Chains A and B, each alone.
Chain A
Amino acid sequence: MCGVRRLSLIGNDLTAWLLILIFLLSGCQLGSERSFQYVETDCAGCIEALPTNGWCDLCSHGLVAGLIVPSREFHDALDAHGHEVDTETILCNLCREVAREDQFCPRCRHGFVAGQLYFSELTWALARGESAPPDIRCSGCREQVGGLGRCAPCSTYWVGTVRFISTEDADRAAGQYRRLQVALERLSRCSECAIAGFFGYPCRFCSSEPIPNPLQ
């Protein structure tokens, strides 16, 4: 058993370093004290990456709203987290206007939530929701998390591992989530099929068309 809380009880620096060394050598799966029962993997890297839509080095895949993105290139392109930008210094007039209202700039294809910039309609739409906590006590929510659905008792909507209160926000995020699922299916052909298609371009290798936005 290894974990952050147990380490906090250790008062000997040398012991701590030894434990770190042991952990590094053994590939110990950390994060076991967090439950995240709804995550299919118990990989500690994924536990860390899940709430940040980050990349799990241990499993060599990324996560976006709980969806596994096996291509590093695609995951980088999605860049599904907020970026600190002084929105008042952005040169695009429309960006500055929409940033004040946490909206999306169709001209630059950037979205804004709480002063942070998101690089696509997907990541912006997801940012308008709330990432699922490690433990979900509501059984209704536990049934819906990881997919697309509504928890009636909580009056919340789930888009993957992101929870929404607003129907409009949830619908928008669900549409982008489905586009991401289509793009992930294209990964079996080539990564550019997925990347170009998701961002509205044809694939130069497969000649596949952009994934419609919104999906029909």
Chain B
Amino acid sequence: MIRVTQLILFVCLFTIGSSVFAGGHLWDINELYSNFDGTIQFVELHVASSASNETGMATKWIRSTETGAEFVFPGNLSGSTAFAHLLIATQGFANLPGAPTPDYILPDNFMATSGDTITWFIYDDWTYPAPALPIDGVMSIQKDLGTGQLILAANTPTNFSGATGSVDAGGPPPPPPAPTASFSIDITSGEAPLAVVFTDTSTGVIDSWSWDYGDSNGSSSQSPSYTYNDAGTYTVTLTVTNTGGSDASICTGCITVTDPPPPPAIDFVRGDTNQDGGIDITDPIFMLTYLFASGPAGCLLALDGNDDNNVDLADAIYLLTYLFGNGPDPASPNPDCGQDLTPGGTLDCAAFDACP
């Protein structure tokens, strides 16, 4: 009896003094599966040995680096874990006929389909693409336990109770047929600047538009507007694209832009700077005010009294000499209204009030 008492005491002491919990260390990722849109996915863990006490799963997590989604085990397991599987799957997977019942539900799009790292707490992590995650509804990423390499194989989801199966969630829908490109233009020729409205008349499902205006500019709008500022003949190309392919419509030389005509010549009287119908002292005063007091310019051709294609102090002196020093008359047109007979300079004349 004494020995029994001692035994009880030993057990009691050990329990009080220290304790060891069941772990979850021997669970490894065993399989990753997703359909094309991420609504049907599962992560399967596996104990690849006869360890039967790997039940300590509470608060441990599985995480996707790419999506940031995290699944946390709500509690510990109950039962032997020797060679056991754990199936954590989306509701979409659970609804598939013939699918084994998931042990836990995973949110949709838990894993990224293009590339991701799935980390199981501090015990395991799988990274893809290498190989890429299949999205054909049948294949999954698994591990060749002989080589340790990730491989692709037909899915074999298995839950904790040992129920297993294989699902076919179907592959992605076939891509739509390539679209057919066409467009219309509201105007095909004119003087620069020529504003043109391009209207897309393509048919089919279109994901993107690419316009080439023929002058190294373009647009990705469906029906853009564009203004040609330079004369020339332009070839316009519209390319439309979807996941099934692309098509281009080319309008060769379909837009012609010409230079605008020169502005109409204005009749004026040289020397009549203030445009009052005659040349008198008020004209050199008008000119001096323009030159030195920021006065209005009026018609610069009229201010160019000496017809040297410049407006400067010499013009004022020229007018004063004409008025008071018997100097020569201002050059034509003078005294009657008329056009500049010596064009080629930079001076302009938008209007001259004293001429009809």
Contacts and interface: CB of A to CB of B under 8 A. Distances in A.
Contacts of B2: 8, 10-11, 16
Interface string A12-44: 010011001000100000110000000000001
Contacts of A10: 2, 5
B261 interface: no
Interface string B144-174: 0111100000000000000000000000000
A16 B20 CA distance: 27
Interface in B8-22: 8-10, 12-14, 16-21
Contacts of A20: 8-9, 12
B17 A30 contact: yes
Contacts of B178: none
A165 interface: no
Contacts of B323: none
A58 B119 contact: no
B28 interface: yes
Interface string B120-149: 001101000000000000000000011110
B146 A93 contact: yes
Contacts of A135: none
Nearest to A63: B18
Nearest to B28: A108
Nearest to B51: A85
B23 interface: yes
B79 to A, nearest CB: 17
A13 B50 contact: no
A137 B272 CA distance: 126
B16 A45 contact: yes
Contacts of A108: 28, 48
A162 B146 CA distance: 35
Contacts of B5: 7, 10, 13, 16-17
A26 B282 CA distance: 122
A87 B125 CA distance: 23
B293 interface: no
Given A11-B2, A79-B25, A91-B48, A57 B12 contact: no
B56 interface: yes
Nearest to A44: B17
Contacts of B8: 20
Contact of A48 (B17, B59, B125): B17
B62 to A, nearest CB: 13
What class of interface size applies to chain B in its complex with A? 35 or more
B122 A117 contact: no
A55 B48 contact: no
A109 B123 CA distance: 8
B17 A45 contact: yes
Contact of B18 (A17, A57, A87): A57
B217 interface: no
B1 interface: yes
A13 B17 CA distance: 23
A49 interface: yes
A52 B50 contact: no
B6 interface: yes
Nearest to A16: B5
B208 interface: no
Contacts of B145: 91-93
A197 to B, nearest CB: 10
B49 interface: yes
Nearest to A8: B6
Contacts of A107: 148
A163 to B, nearest CB: 21
B16 A57 contact: yes
Contacts of A13: 1, 5
A17 B4 CA distance: 12
A54 B19 contact: yes
Contacts of A199: 122-123
Contacts of B49: 85-87, 89-91, 95, 117
Contacts of A87: 49
A99 to B, nearest CB: 10
A20 B123 CA distance: 41
Given A13-B1, A91-B145, A56 B25 contact: no
Given A90-B49, A119-B25, A52 B9 contact: no
A55 B14 CA distance: 11
A4 interface: yes
Contacts of A109: 123
The CB with the most chain B CB atoms within 10 A, among A20, A45, A91, is that of A91
Contact of B17 (A8, A58, A200): A58
Contacts of A56: 17-18
20 contacts: A4-B13, A10-B5, A13-B1, A20-B9, A30-B17, A45-B17, A48-B13, A54-B18, A56-B18, A57-B18, A79-B23, A81-B20, A86-B50, A87-B49, A89-B49, A89-B83, A90-B49, A91-B83, A108-B28, A110-B26
Give the top 3 A-B pairs by smallest Cβ distance, nearest first.
A48-B17, A49-B18, A199-B122
